[in-house]
Structure 1
Amino acid sequence: MDRSFSTKLSLCMLFFSSYPLLAKTPQPPALVLASDYQQGLDLQDYWVCEKYDGVRAYWDGKQLFSRAGHVINLPSALSEQLPEVAVDGELWLGRGQFSDLVSLIKQQDVNLNKWQQVQFVVFDLPNYPGPYQQRYRHLQTLSSASEFMRVPVYRAYPGRPKLEQQLAKISAEGGEGLMLRDPKSMYLPTRSNALIKYKSYQDAEAKVIAYSDGKGKYRGMLGALVVQDQQGRQFKIGSGLSDQLRADPPPIGSLVEYRYNGLTEHGKPRFARFVRVHQTL
């Protein structure tokens, strides 16, 4: 056999033998992303609802995917309640139950009993034409026959003072904050003011690059995480760490989520506090 032909044949076989692996590489769905509220933005025409602390999920009409493009296995009794069209939403277990929800999803356990309390909060139809107010009405129709699906309840923008009262009430009850939606916006898979997060704090992610030793009662344990954010800023996060995390901190290189209240005069997050290790789903 011709050596060059043999080499080409071997390369071809190698390519096709690895093709299934390449095909399984997760492809993140193109989703609308929310922006943080900016002072002075006119909110007069926006709709307001609670911000759900769940896991973003995209139903393509046949399968459910995470924001990162991983398949989320559902009990058949739940997937059968979903429509044959693409739906953008969030799996939600309840206020303060994010970690339990992530654990359930990672188990890939389709035991219906374990999923009984999970709801699919659906808030958009990526492929449906028209402004959001039309897409929302169609969502209400689609979800009316499903116990698994629910749509958020919106209210008209009540004015800044009442919006602050509403935010304080939701926060006191353990909620994440509020979401503001432009009812005239089209579904554009990018970050814009069509969807706005309105919270009493900002949140972000940063990579753990080092540890700071603890002092006093934390001597011999972790004092703070030294992190670097996407802008290259380095700072410490010591607040919000449990004793368990101080004894067994997140690995160097891992991503953590944190909350903060604006920036200092040096441009670093003010009052940065640890929330959780970032879950890649």
Structure 2
Amino acid sequence: MMQRRDLLSHFSLGCFGSLASLPALATQPPALWLANPYQGNEELSDYWVSEKFDGIRGYWDGRQLLSRSGKTLNPPTWFVQAWPKQPFEGELWAGLGQFEQAASVIQQKQAPDSSWRAMRFMVFDANTSPQAFTDRIVRYQSLVKQIGKPWVQAVPQSKVPSHAALKAILSKTVQADGEGLVLHRGSSLYQSGRNSDVLKFKSHEDAEAKVIALESGQGKHAQRLGALMVETPQGMRFKLGTGFTDAQRENPPAVGQWVTYSYRGLTDKGVPRFASFVRIRPAVER
């Protein structure tokens, strides 16, 4: 196995800062909904469809901005100026294909204003009352209009007539470097946890796993990373040997870090098929 490098030097892709610069942990994580995978047999007339933005999920609790894991984020005062006391949530997004940039900005205690001015908060829900999602769309659109800042935007929602049309929208989204789609049941009340009222539709499945060992490469990858040995939250262990850039093989994730991987279904033993490294999961989301 490759010798483990200094944890701090591998804390992020690019430079996400030191442990001391990480956002502080709030009292407890916010109780947010989580999406299940789209299956293709749903009654589409029940769902609203929107783009899935590839950023960092943020939750405004009425006084501060939190990550999904409950860490207090540190946007500049002007970024959240005039935000209402009602809770709403969205995606802190830096643009198509700019996930690493978004993660880098958010994980700094005091990122430059110029970096934050490239960010958008894409609002997609407002869990202010026991309303159905169709009514909450109107609510979050109203909140965004009330805020009146160009960096706070309401995520558009639309109805899609068929599964074939949905797949065409996904294809167009992915070709434009988008991440995928989200389907939200219009009649559903806000509820935390993973359920089929909210679905994610991507060209591939993805999940997270913890790095438990680094394996050195051979041939053209000699003297650098060959593969990561990872473990899922369910205890399944397997290798990730593809998806890395040359820079990532030279400066790989450290043991103990969490990574996102893509895959295409599971084997009979439950091992992800064609698993491929996507990125290091930002510490702010853990």
Same fold (TM over 0.5): yes
Q: Which amino acid aligns with 1:87?
A: F
**2:44 alignment partner, SS class:** coil
Change (3 A) 1:262 1:134: same
Pairing 1:30–2:38 present: no
- Taking the aligned partners of 2:93 and 2:251, their CA distance within structure 1 comes to 28
**Contact 2:40–2:163 (CA<8 Å) still a contact in 1?**
no
Aligned to 1:84: 85
**1:133 alignment partner, SS class:** helix
Q: Which amino acid aligns with 2:205?
A: Q
Aligned to 1:20: none
- Taking the aligned partners of 1:140 and 1:146, their CA distance within structure 2 comes to 13
- Taking the aligned partners of 1:104 and 1:164, their CA distance within structure 2 comes to 33
**2:124 alignment partner, SS class:** strand
Match of 2:182 among 169, 179, 184: 179
Larger Rg: 1
Pairing 1:130–2:131 present: yes
Aligned to 1:141: 142
**Contact 1:81–1:148 (CA<8 Å) still a contact in 2?**
no
**Contact 1:208–1:226 (CA<8 Å) still a contact in 2?**
yes
Pairing 1:211–2:207 present: no
**2:190 alignment partner, SS class:** coil
Q: CA deviation at 1:206?
A: 0.8
Change (3 A) 1:195 1:249: same
Matches within 5 A, 1:154-193: 154-193=157-196
- Taking the aligned partners of 1:128 and 1:254, their CA distance within structure 2 comes to 37
Aligned to 2:97: 96
Runs of 4+ aligned residues of structure 1 deviating over 3 Å after TM superposition are 23-26
Pairing 1:229–2:228 present: no
| Consecutive unaligned residues in structure 2, runs of 5 or more | 1-23
- Taking the aligned partners of 1:222 and 1:111, their CA distance within structure 2 comes to 33
Task: Give CA deviations for 1:136-159 in whole Å, capped at 9, x if unaligned.
Answer: 101111111232321111110221
**Contact 2:218–2:226 (CA<8 Å) still a contact in 1?**
yes
Change (3 A) 1:25 1:49: closer
Query: If the length of structure 1 is used for normalisation, what is the TM-score?
Result: 0.87
Aligned to 2:17: none
**Contact 1:45–1:157 (CA<8 Å) still a contact in 2?**
no
Report the identity percentage: 42
Query: If the length of structure 2 is used for normalisation, what is the TM-score?
Result: 0.85
Aligned to 1:116: 117
Aligned to 2:201: 198
- Taking the aligned partners of 2:97 and 2:67, their CA distance within structure 1 comes to 20
- Taking the aligned partners of 2:166 and 2:40, their CA distance within structure 1 comes to 14
Work out the number of aligned pairs and report it. Answer: 259
Aligned to 2:107: 106
Q: Which amino acid aligns with 2:85?
A: E
Aligned to 1:72: 73
Matches within 5 A, 1:40-51: 40-51=41-52
Deviates more, 1:97-106 or 1:145-154: 145-154
**1:235 alignment partner, SS class:** strand
Task: Give CA deviations for 1:8-54 in whole Å, capped at 9, x if unaligned.
Answer: xxxxxxxxxxxxxxx96542111111111234333332111110001
- Taking the aligned partners of 2:76 and 2:214, their CA distance within structure 1 comes to 42
- Taking the aligned partners of 2:113 and 2:233, their CA distance within structure 1 comes to 39
Pairing 1:275–2:272 present: no
